[in-house]
Amino acid sequence: MAKLNIVLFEPEIPSNTGNIGRTCVATGTRLHLIEPLGFRLNEKSIKRAGMDYWEHLDVTRYVDYQDFCKRNTGAKVYMATTKAPSVYTEVHYEPDCYLMFGKESGGIPEEILLENQETAIRIPMLSTIRSLNLANSVAIVLYEALRQNNFDHMQLEGHLTRYNWK
């Protein structure tokens, strides 16, 4: 079974990363963290949000964006940004694609977005809302990608049983 991938570009808030990690474990999704991180992975706040699942998480760290690109040559990366013309429900997500989200204070840098305009996606929001929480944004797009790929929670039964979860 192919796996979807969540990529966090320089995440700053440990509780967001913890919650996203927990969502990745629950859905069998890989998590990719592009450094620098705004926290240490052993902080209490990330543990409270999701580190109790961390040992079960398929996670890879990268020293920077270039390292991510070098180690994932040819990957189809959809980049979430408020500036994208395409709504996240208007694209087709491949079963092994990467869904990238930027840091909480500034998103994905413009120079990276300019290189990837054809795969930029956005979540429509009322103009009165500044932005969604990063963990909520990831969940919204991830579940659309899972839905499109006929996600079947029963496929995860063996995955979860392996960790003695019922």
Q: What is the pLDDT of residues 104-141, one digit of tens each?
A: 999 999 999 999 999 999 998 876 566 678 999 999 99
Q: What is the spatial distance between Cα 149 and Cα 143, in angstroms, rounded to a whole number?
A: 10
In the numeric block, which tokens belong to residue 49? 């949000």
Q: What is the spatial distance between Cα 23 and Cα 138, in angstroms, rounded to a whole number?
A: 9
**pLDDT for residue 44:** 66
CA 27 to centroid of chain Cα atoms: 12
Residue positions forming the annotated binding site: 102, 123, 131
**pLDDT for residue 6:** 97
What are the helix (H) ranges across the chain? 14-27, 44-49, 65-71, 110-115, 134-148, 157-161
Residue 166 has pLDDT above 50, yes or no: no
**pLDDT for residue 149:** 87
Long-range contacts at 151-158 (CB < 8 A, ≥ 24 apart): 151/27, 155/1, 155/28, 156/26, 156/27, 156/28
Q: What are 74-85's pLDDT values in tens digits?
A: 999 999 998 899
- What residues contact residue 27 under an 8 Å CB cut-off, 6+ apart? 4, 142, 146, 151, 156
Residue 18 has pLDDT above 50, yes or no: yes
Residue positions forming the annotated binding site for S-adenosyl-L-methionine: 102, 123, 131
Residue with tokens 């930029």: 120
Q: What are 20-53's pLDDT values in tens digits?
A: 998 999 899 999 999 999 887 775 666 665 556 7
